Amino acid sequence: MKWNAKKDKSFYSSLFTVLTITIVATIIILSTILYLNFESIVAKQTYEHTIRNLEQTSQDASVMAVTASSFAKQIYNDVQVTRLLNNIATDPVDLFNLISQLNAYRATSPFIDSIYIYNAKTRTFYISSDLSSALGEFTEQEVVDREAVDIVHHLDLYKPLMPIPRQMKVNNITNPLEKKRDMYTFLLFDTLSNKPRQNTVIVNVSETQLHKKIDGLLTQSESNTFIIDSSGTLMSNSWKYPILSDISNKAFVSKILHQPSSSGYVREKVDGVDSFISFTQPDSLGWRYIRIMPYHEVMERIESMRWKTISIAATILLIGLLISYLISSRMFRKVDRKLAQLSQLETERRDSIHILRQEYMRNVLLGWEKCPAGRAEEQFKRYSVPLRTDQPMAMALLKIDHYHDFTERYNNDDRKLYKFAIMNIAQEVLSVNTDAFAVDMGEDRIAVILGGAALMADHADSALLKEVKKLQFAVKDWLKMSVSAVCSGPADSLDHLHALYNQVLSASYHRLFYGHECVIDAEKVEGYKSKKYVYPQAKEKQLIDELMLGRIEEVKRQFRAIIEETAEYSFVSFQLAFSQLSLAVNNTISTIGQYSFQSEGLGLQPIHTVVNDQVETLEEILKRFNELFDELASKLDEKRKSKHDDLVQSITQIVDERFGDPDLSLDVIADELGLSSTYIGRIYKQHTMKTILGYISEVRMNKARELLHGTNESIGDIAERIGYANGPYFFKAFKKANGVTPAEYRKHVRQQQDTSGTM
Q: Is the pLDDT of residue 116 over 60?
A: yes
The pLDDT, as a whole number, for residue 31 is 67
Of 91-95, 230-234, 419-423, the poorest mean pLDDT is in 91-95
Q: What is the mean pLDDT of residues 233-258?
A: 84
Q: What pLDDT sits at residue 604? A: 43
Predicted pLDDT at 332: 62
Look over the chain and give the mean of its residue pLDDT values, rounded to a whole number.
Answer: 80
Reported as a pLDDT band with limits 50, 70 and 90, residue 608 is very low
* Nearest of 757, 753, 747 to residue 712 by alpha carbon: 747
Q: Please tell me the number of Cα atoms within 13 Å of 475 on its side-chain side.
A: 28
330 or 486, higher pLDDT: 486
> What is the CB neighbour count within 10 angstroms for residue 569?
18
The mean pLDDT value for 301-309 works out to: 68
CB 146 within 8 A of CB 138: no
Please determine, for residue 87, whether its predicted confidence score (pLDDT) is greater than 50: yes
Bridge partner residues of 112 (DSSP): 205
What Å distances lie between residue 186 and 85, 112, 660, 756, CA to CA? 17, 11, 58, 28
Higher pLDDT, 239 or 529: 529
Report whether pLDDT(181) > 60: yes
**pLDDT range class, residue 484, cuts 50, 70, 90:** very high
When comparing pLDDT for 276 and 19, which is higher?
276
The reply to whether 659-758 shares the fold of 79-296 is no
CA distance 197 to 85: 12
Provide, rounded to the nearest whole percent, the portion of the chain with pLDDT above 70: 84
Asked whether the predicted pLDDT for residue 628 surpasses 90, the reply is: no
Cβ contact 719:727 at 8 Å: yes
Q: Above 80 in pLDDT, residue 61?
A: no
Which of 189, 125, 122 lies closest to 155 in space, CA to CA? 189
Residues across the chain: 759
What is the fold, at CATH topology level, of the domain defined by 79-296?
A: Beta-Lactamase (3.30.450)
Q: In what order do the strands lie in the sheet with 435-440?
A: 435-440, 445-451, 393-400, 483-487, 519-521
Asked whether the beta carbons of 470 and 476 are under 8 A apart, the reply is: no
CATH number 1.10.10.60 is the correct assignment for the domain at 659-758: yes
- Report the pLDDT value the prediction gives residue 488, as an integer from 0 to 100: 85
For position 759, what pLDDT does the model report?
Answer: 47
Given this model, what pLDDT does residue 328 score?
Answer: 62
* Ranges of each domain in the chain: 2-60+300-345, 79-296, 370-527, 537-624, 659-758
CB 440 within 8 Å of CB 423: yes
Mean pLDDT check: name the lowest of 55-59, 219-223, 686-690.
219-223
DSSP 30-87: HHHHHHHHHHHHHHHHHHHHHHHHHHHHHHHHHHHHHHHHHHHHHHHT-HHHHHHHTT
Average pLDDT over residues 43-62: 77
Asked if pLDDT for residue 219 goes beyond 50, the answer is no
d(CA 94, CA 278): 53
**Confidence band for 607, pLDDT divided at 50, 70 and 90:** very low
| pLDDT (average), residues 97-121 | 84
Q: pLDDT of 632-673, one tens digit each? A: 877 777 766 666 777 888 888 898 888 888 888 888 888 888
Residue 266 has pLDDT above 80, yes or no: yes
H or E element at residue 97: helix 92-107
Transcribe 736-747 into DSSP letters.
HHHSS-HHHHHH
- What lies within 8 Å, CB to CB, of 661 at 6+ separation is 723
pLDDT band at 594 (very low <50, low <70, confident <90, very high): low
Whether the predicted pLDDT of 427 surpasses 80: yes
Span 129-154, mean pLDDT? 81
693 C-beta neighbours (distance < 10 Å), count: 14
Lowest mean pLDDT among 6-20, 225-239, 305-319, 518-532: 6-20
Average pLDDT over every residue of 493-504: 82
In the chain, % of residues over pLDDT 90: 4
pLDDT at 433: 79
Average pLDDT over residues 626-632: 84
Nearest-angstrom CA–CA distance, 472 and 367: 28
Give per-residue pLDDT as tens, 363-391.
888 888 776 666 777 777 777 787 777 78
Which of 55-69, 496-510, 522-536 has the weakest average pLDDT? Answer: 55-69
Q: What does the pLDDT average to over 175-189?
A: 82
pLDDT in tens, 448-458: 988 877 777 77
Question: What pLDDT was estimated at residue 17?
Answer: 73
Of 549 and 722, which is predicted with more confidence? 722
Q: What is the mean pLDDT of residues 435-459?
A: 83
Could you say which of 3.30.70.270, 3.30.565.10, 1.10.620.20, 3.90.230.10 is the CATH number of the domain covering 370-527? 3.30.70.270
CA distance 425 to 400: 14
At residue 361's C-alpha, the angle toward residues 356 and 366, to 5°, is 125
pLDDT at 10: 56
User: What confidence score (pLDDT) does residue 483 get?
Assistant: 92
Angle at 599 between CA 593 and CA 603, to 5 degrees: 40
Please tell me the predicted confidence (pLDDT) of residue 5. 44
* Cβ(532)–Cβ(421) below 8 Å: no
pTM over 0.75: no
Question: What local confidence, expressed as pLDDT, does residue 612 receive?
Answer: 53
Answer yes or no: is pLDDT of 685 > 60. yes
Cα 98 to the center of its chain, rounded Å: 62
* pLDDT of 204 higher than 80: yes
pLDDT value at 347 more than 60: no
146-155, 211-220, 315-324, range with the lowest pLDDT:
211-220
Overall average pLDDT of the 231-254 stretch: 84
Of residues 102 and 9, more confidently modeled:
102
Give 690's pLDDT tier (boundaries 50, 70, 90): confident
Is 439 in a helix, a strand, or coil? Answer: strand
d(CA 44, CA 25) in angstroms, rounded, equals 29
Tell me the DSSP string of 291-355: EEEEHHHHTHHHHHHHHHHHHHHHHHHHHHHHHHHHHHHHHHHHHHHHHHHHHHHHHHHHHHHHH
Query: CA angle 243-248-254, nearest 5°?
Result: 135
The reported pLDDT for the residue numbered 385 is 80
